Amino acid sequence: MLEAFGVINIWTYLVGLTMIILAPGPNSLYVLKSSSSLGVKAGYQAASGVLIGDAVLILLSYLGVASLIQTSPVLFTIIRYLGAAYLLYLGIKIIHQLMSKKGEEGAEMARPKKKENVFAKSLTLSLTNPKAILFYVSFFIQFIDYTYEHTWASYLILATILEVFSIVYLSVLIFLGTSLTQMFKNNKVLANLGNGLLGMFFMGFAARLASLS
């Protein structure tokens, strides 16, 4: 269908892409957390960070930078530990905020007094995820005909499809998050449990990322 533009096996790409996007990860969890704690606008700010981060990684893959990172053990290790440290920081921060609110009366759950730059945090999460870099190197190349003269167009088509799928999925998470907010407002125990689990998830992602070989 898109072979004329250097894109091959498009249906296999769509199936694989759907499975990868639906798999839970720190980016999607952060979008869910942002929308549930700060509302729809913050959710879309976090989603924008994910989408722009993906676009940057795809561009790096096209330029060959991602391949360089993949073949350089030292550089890959540095990025891996930076990503793990940032995930650990987010997890600890969520747990700390949860513990600091326990003695507060009448405070709304997940409505922090200090504004956080969700876009910057989401973008940082995306750009410090070496698994995403490896994904764009190993996954995209399977669906590009490198005999095609303008491979940039092939990358652009695949990237556009990915971004469309991502924004649809993240939009579902955003509105799910706002629905959870209403439920959490009436059940502080459930809200604290949800925030605690989220913090532990981020710390679990950090441990898994740090242990990658």
Q: Residue 131: its pLDDT value, please?
A: 66
C-beta separation of 46 from 30 below 8 A = yes
DSSP 140: G
On whether residue 191 sits in a domain, the answer given is yes
C-beta separation of 43 from 34 below 8 A = yes
On whether residue 8 sits in a domain, the answer given is no
Predicted structure pTM score: 0.70
On whether residue 2 sits in a domain, the answer given is no
With a cut of 50, list the residues of the chain below it in pLDDT.
105-113
C-beta separation of 162 from 13 below 8 A = no
- Give the range of the structural domain holding residue 138, as residue numbers without chain letter: 26-100+107-210
On whether residue 132 sits in a domain, the answer given is yes
Q: Residue 111: its pLDDT value, please?
A: 46
Residue 52's CB is within 10 A of a number of other CB atoms, namely 16
Separation CA 153–CA 79 (nearest Å): 29
On whether residue 96 sits in a domain, the answer given is yes
Separation CA 86–CA 25 (nearest Å): 14
DSSP 5: G
On whether residue 157 sits in a domain, the answer given is yes
Number of domains in the chain: 1
C-beta separation of 175 from 184 below 8 A = no
Residue type, 131: K
On whether residue 16 sits in a domain, the answer given is no
On whether residue 139 sits in a domain, the answer given is yes
Separation CA 41–CA 118 (nearest Å): 10
